[in-house]
Amino acid sequence: QVQLVESGGGLVQAGGSLRLSCAASGRTFSRHAMGWFRQAPGKEREFVATISWSGSSIFVAHSVTGRFTISRDNAKNTAYLQMNNLKPEDTAVYYCAADYDDGTGYKYTINDYHYWGQGTQVTVSS
């Protein structure tokens, strides 16, 4: 089992920045790929970014490319999502997710992940 706890959400004005953190505990964090997803009211949960267990492979959704950066610190069992130049359409509950990284490719769908956090709200005002 891997337990995930997100933090860092909040209310920010358009153009501002936030950094989300995802603290992991349980099984070996360093062998797990990490992902960030988001879900806006009335919409389906969508992929934001993913990072391999080593940090060497990163894939970011087109909608946030150039604004959001995913990273991880395996020594701290923590993954991060740095969000810059936030827009009102980024408003959503943000979830981190984890799954064993078998090296077969990017994990960018909900079904790729077994472990999920409880989510953190990000609200961007115009």
| Average pLDDT for runs of 10 along the chain of length 126 | 94 98 84 96 97 95 97 95 98 97 88 96 97
Given this model, what pLDDT does residue 26 score? 79
Range 8-12, long-range pairs (CB < 8 A, 24+ positions): 8/120, 9/94, 9/120, 9/121, 9/122, 10/121, 10/122, 10/123, 11/123, 11/124, 11/125, 12/86, 12/122, 12/123, 12/124, 12/125
- Dump pLDDT digits (tens) for 43-56: 999 999 999 999 99
